Structure 1
Amino acid sequence: MFQDLQTKIWSGFYPANQQLPSENELAKQYHVSRITSKRALQELANIGLVQRRQGSGTFVRRGLRLRTLTKQILLVIPFTPESGLGDYITGIRAVLANQQQTLTVIDNHQFAQTSLTKIAADFDGIIYYPQNLATELSTLQQYTLAHMPLVLLDQTATGLPISAVVADNTQGGYLATQTLINNNHQRIIFLAQSDFAQSLNSSVAQRYFGYLQALAEQDLTFAVDPQQAHQLTTNQFADLLPFLEMAHVTGIVTENDLLALATMAFLQKNGVQIPQQFSIIGFDNITRSASSSPQLSTITQDFHTIGRQAAGLLQERIENPFDPDLKQITVPVKLTPRASINLLKNN
């Protein structure tokens, strides 16, 4: 009964704002008990297809719009697939292949320049990797209010009504810091190119929180604050070497591999030996991290799994973009140890 009513709503048999038959009428029509018909109507309400109005009855939601599926999915990402910064596409396409769907990839700027009307006409749903969620939210809210199927990659915010799949960034920051602590490092800093103090829901902020958690668990009181973490990378690391020497730092956790590699290059250019003088851990396990000298220790995200999970969530949103159950999935990370970590002696 529930399935049949759902099919009739999506087929347009019961259009938007149409009142459904009463519980008693449905019980007679389907030859079931009133309890069964009541449960079916409540299940429809639970997935957002109908609204039960006190004293009036049950109505198909007023904002229901029937769309012809194009079998086209849009991935919006702020870097090129060839950059080596994260292969989400393989995982996404594995899911889309089962649905006979095609993937189109564009960048965030191109997306911002394209109208919602055109995007909605051309695509069944969107997987969106924010470049800066705070500044892009005004655009994303339009798609949310239009009930365009949408799933976020990498970033989300508490209470944000958009499904999302993220790596466990807090676990990653914790694991990187704990690894350095296990190698006898106690003077550990966190470096970031982004000013995450202004965006505490960002992935970088979550990695920083993991860094603080690991330090606190081991009663280590030395740490950099968010402003320092960012300031030490500005002006081509102008303040980094003096700070490292003054604070007797031996371990460095960075927001990502690109920053870790840039930090290593800067230090080596200035005669510093890695890992003999400083141990460094990055985040992401990009292709270049395995070919650097020394090879970079890093926190590995499972990009394929993140892509598959995001595509799976998007299929659910396409099936019913009005479902109030907005899922947030966190995918575990792991340490990939390499030569940029050194066991500190006589600490």
Structure 2
Amino acid sequence: MAALYETILNDLKEAILSKKLPPGSKLPTEMQLSTDYQVSRITSKRALTELENLGLIERTRGRGSFVKAQAPKANQTKRILFLLPFYNDLSLGNFTEGLLPILQDAQYDLLMTDFTYLTSHDCTSIQTEFSGMIYYATKEQDHLELLIELSLADFPVVILDKERADLDFPTVIANNLIGGFEATTLLLAQQHQRIGYLTNSQPLPQSTMQRYLGYRKAVKDSFFLSLEELPTLENFLALQQEKQITAWVCENDLIAIEAMRQLKAVKISVPDDISIIGFDNIQAAALVDPALTTISQNFDKIGYTAGQLLLEWITTGQKPSSQKIDVTLITRHSTKEISHD
């Protein structure tokens, strides 16, 4: 839970970055903020002090606090580059519904494309043509040289899906560990005692590993599949029979949907014979039969937060902190309570 002063800070920062409070606007006084937010004056004063430290406001004794005009930067193009490998299929995750409004409010244009863009654009051209970049990370070694160069140039970049602390870029990711934990906890509450984890990636990518750790945290000392035992779509049916597994937590919705297809092909009923739960809540999750129980990533909020952090960095020149976004369990019809009769 955010500290009380952070709530005030974030609300005012959002209003300033989105131009709802344009340069020269007078902010509420410490006393007014204390009343509006039901906090102490010390708390409201700290929020204003943090805004001043970020370079967003200037405070004059006897006059109050005012939104500070930002000096234009060299090569300021007011364009953002968003590199997204599935940009032409947003059913896999639509970040733009949260991202576009905050960029439009700040009068920034967005170019969204995939990694083929990098075949004709290098670090220098990206810095010349754009004010900042949002990068959806896939494999950790992909485009590493470009990211290193942008990091050394202190170019504003926000990374989605995977933490890259080694590059010192802020990241916005879903709380994958909590997601894996909540998925497994649901199945345990439905009396499943032999729950497996299904992936199609070895070694596990960072986000998938976090989901697996959530699975392990939930099952504790009960039955579980170790890393070495984890099956893929090619062999999970055999392992399911061998280990008498009654439910699967899947790495993502695409794997869950393919697993259901294979189960149906061999006359195994979901959820009567086996329960399946996915992760991501892509559009197809609600359309398959049976509709897929899943962990929903808040793509709108991830997109909005990425835009907010990027604008903060561009506007203030100060690198923001990474953010982890809560997930939500969506219970549909691919899971059910098991009968031990």
TM-score by length of 2: 0.76
Aligned partner (choices 223, 243, 249) of residue 247 of structure 1: 243
* AA in 2 matched with 1:277: D
The structure-2 alpha-carbon separation of the partners of 1:194 and 1:109, relative to structure 1 and needing over 3 Å to count, comes to farther
Q: Which position in structure 2 is the counterpart of 1:314?
A: 310
What's the secondary structure of 2:94's corresponding residue?
Answer: coil
Q: Which position in structure 2 is the counterpart of 1:106?
A: 113
Aligned partner (choices 134, 140, 143) of residue 150 of structure 2: 143
* AA in 1 matched with 2:329: L
- Are the equivalent residues in 2 in contact too, given 1:91–1:306 (CA < 8 A)? yes
* Greater Rg over alpha carbons, structure: 1
TM-score by length of 1: 0.75
CA RMSD of aligned residues (A): 2.1
Larger mean CA deviation between 127-136 and 248-257 belongs to 127-136
What's the secondary structure of 1:135's corresponding residue?
Answer: coil
1:113-172: CA deviations, max 9, x gaps?
A: 421111111110001101112333332111111111100111114564111111100000
CA distance in 2, matches of 1:191, 1:252: 6
CA distance in 1, matches of 2:338, 2:185: 14
- Are the equivalent residues in 1 in contact too, given 2:251–2:279 (CA < 8 A)? yes
The structure-2 alpha-carbon separation of the partners of 1:122 and 1:134, relative to structure 1 and needing over 3 Å to count, comes to same
CA distance in 2, matches of 1:196, 1:213: 19
Aligned partner (choices 116, 123, 139) of residue 130 of structure 2: 123
Q: Which position in structure 2 is the counterpart of 1:192?
A: 199
1:68-109: CA deviations, max 9, x gaps?
A: 211111101111243401110111101101111111011123
2:340 corresponds to 1:342: no
Aligned partner (choices 91, 100, 103) of residue 93 of structure 1: 100
1:259 deviation in Å?
Answer: 0.5
What's the secondary structure of 2:112's corresponding residue?
Answer: strand
Listed as ranges, the matches of 1:1-347 within 5 Å are: 67-111=74-118, 113-158=120-165, 160-197=167-204, 199=205, 202-216=206-220, 219-220=221-222, 222-229=223-230, 232-233=231-232, 237-321=233-317, 323=318, 325-346=319-340
Q: Identity over the aligned pairs, expressed in percent? A: 34
* Aligned length in residues: 274
* AA in 2 matched with 1:95: I
CA distance in 1, matches of 2:213, 2:272: 27
The structure-2 alpha-carbon separation of the partners of 1:223 and 1:138, relative to structure 1 and needing over 3 Å to count, comes to farther
The structure-2 alpha-carbon separation of the partners of 1:160 and 1:182, relative to structure 1 and needing over 3 Å to count, comes to farther
- Are the equivalent residues in 2 in contact too, given 1:187–1:223 (CA < 8 A)? yes
- Are the equivalent residues in 2 in contact too, given 1:178–1:214 (CA < 8 A)? yes
* AA in 1 matched with 2:333: A
1:196 deviation in Å?
Answer: 3.6
- Are the equivalent residues in 1 in contact too, given 2:94–2:300 (CA < 8 A)? yes
What stretches of structure 2 of length at least 5 have no aligned partner?
Answer: 1-49, 56-71
What stretches of structure 1 of length at least 5 have no aligned partner?
Answer: 1-42, 49-64
* AA in 2 matched with 1:251: A
* AA in 1 matched with 2:214: G
- Are the equivalent residues in 2 in contact too, given 1:161–1:326 (CA < 8 A)? no
* AA in 1 matched with 2:218: A
* AA in 2 matched with 1:79: F
1:241 deviation in Å?
Answer: 1.6
- Are the equivalent residues in 2 in contact too, given 1:72–1:123 (CA < 8 A)? yes
